């Protein structure tokens, strides 16, 4: 139906997560309707992000230099590390303004079925980071992996490794349970069970 260049654009856009063929087609036609300047600005932004953005040498978050902005920020508490699966997980945590420390991005979660083993993630680098002699007295590691089967397995694996290598460090896990504003009747058993297990005094 479409000319080959349009079809190629649709095909490439459809590869993006959450974008189906119809949405890809709408986006392609939107790009065609925009003037050349806008379309080139989009193409330049994609090219620039691929050329300039890499991984931070310390925490493996996205960075436009050797270190990310969080690792360069002297005001952050270097003794507190929050472990997340992907760079995108840093953003919602930062939005809360509740975490004053620094991060460690694993680059995924353990999943033997999908062929993701500990060596495929930045777990060894985390162990080196917390046990290094020049480490800034790390006192707590917060495991903020996703509350999924793979996320839980990853958190347990890391917790065991940290207890073995650095027993003096406190290892914590993000609490999980009922979201604010929800009703008990709509909560599943696992979520409700977690909420009971994580209850606290008021």
The CATH number linked to 111 is: 3.40.1360.10
- Looking at per-residue confidence, does 194 or 149 come out higher? 149
Q: Give the span between the Cα atoms of 94 and 79, in whole angstroms.
A: 17
**Long-range Cβ contacts of 85-90 (<8 Å, 24+ apart):** 85/109, 85/145, 85/146, 85/151, 85/154, 87/60, 87/61, 87/62, 89/144, 89/146, 90/61
Q: Which residues of 40-51 are buried (b: 16+ CB within 10 A; e: fewer)?
A: eeeeeeeeeeee
188, pLDDT greater than 90 = no
Query: Per-residue pLDDT tens for 32-56?
Result: 999 999 999 999 999 999 999 999 9
Q: Which residues pair with 83 in a beta bridge?
A: 104, 143
**What is the domain-level CATH number for residue 11?**
1.10.8.420
- Same domain flag for 93 and 18: no
Q: Where among 52, 67, 86 does a domain terminate? A: 52
Q: Give the span between the Cα atoms of 86 and 184, in whole angstroms.
A: 31
The residue range of the domain holding 23 is: 4-52
Percent of the chain with pLDDT over 90: 77
List the Cα angle 65/68/73 in 5-degree steps: 125
- Same domain flag for 95 and 166: yes
Assess if residue 145 is contained within a domain: yes
Q: Give the span between the Cα atoms of 35 and 67, in whole angstroms.
A: 37
What is the pLDDT, as a whole number, of residue 136? 67
* Mean pLDDT, residues 165-194 taken together: 84
How would residue 187 be classed by pLDDT, with cut points 50, 70 and 90? Answer: confident
Assess if residue 141 is contained within a domain: yes
- Same domain flag for 79 and 42: no
How would residue 192 be classed by pLDDT, with cut points 50, 70 and 90? Answer: confident
Assess if residue 199 is contained within a domain: no
Query: Per-residue pLDDT tens for 68-113?
Result: 999 999 999 999 999 999 999 999 999 999 999 999 999 999 998 9
How would residue 135 be classed by pLDDT, with cut points 50, 70 and 90? Answer: low
- Same domain flag for 117 and 32: no
- Rounded to two decimals, what is the model's pTM? 0.84
Q: What SS3 state is found at 108?
A: coil
- Same domain flag for 47 and 88: no
Q: Give the span between the Cα atoms of 135 and 78, in whole angstroms.
A: 9
Number of domains in the chain: 2
List the Cα angle 54/52/79 in 5-degree steps: 40
The tokens for 107 are: 């680059």
- Same domain flag for 24 and 80: no
Q: What's the mean per-residue pLDDT of the chain?
A: 91
160, pLDDT greater than 80 = yes
């Amino acid at each position: 139906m479409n000319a080959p260049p349009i079809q190629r654009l649709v095909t490439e856009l459809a590869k993006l997560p959450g974008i189906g063929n119809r949405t890809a087609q709408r986006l392609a036609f939107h790009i065609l309707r925009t003037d050349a300047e806008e379309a080139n600005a989009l193409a330049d932004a994609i090219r620039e992000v691929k050329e300039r953005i890499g991984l931070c040498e310390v925490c493996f978050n996205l960075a436009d230099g050797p270190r990310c902005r969080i690792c360069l920020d002297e005001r952050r508490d270097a003794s507190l590390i929050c472990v997340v699966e992907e760079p995108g997980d840093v953003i919602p945590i930062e939005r809360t303004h509740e975490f004053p420390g620094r991060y460690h991005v694993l680059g995924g979660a353990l999943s033997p079925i999908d062929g993701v083993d500990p060596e495929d993630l930045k777990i060894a680098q985390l162990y080196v980071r917390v046990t290094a002699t020049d480490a800034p007295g790390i006192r707590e590691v917060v495991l903020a992996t996703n509350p999924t089967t793979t996320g839980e397995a990853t958190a347990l694996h890391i917790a065991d490794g940290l207890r073995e290598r650095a027993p003096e460090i406190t290892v914590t896990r993000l609490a999980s349970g009922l979201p604010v504003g929800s009703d008990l009747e709509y909560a599943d058993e696992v979520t409700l069970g977690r909420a009971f297990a994580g209850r606290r005094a008021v």
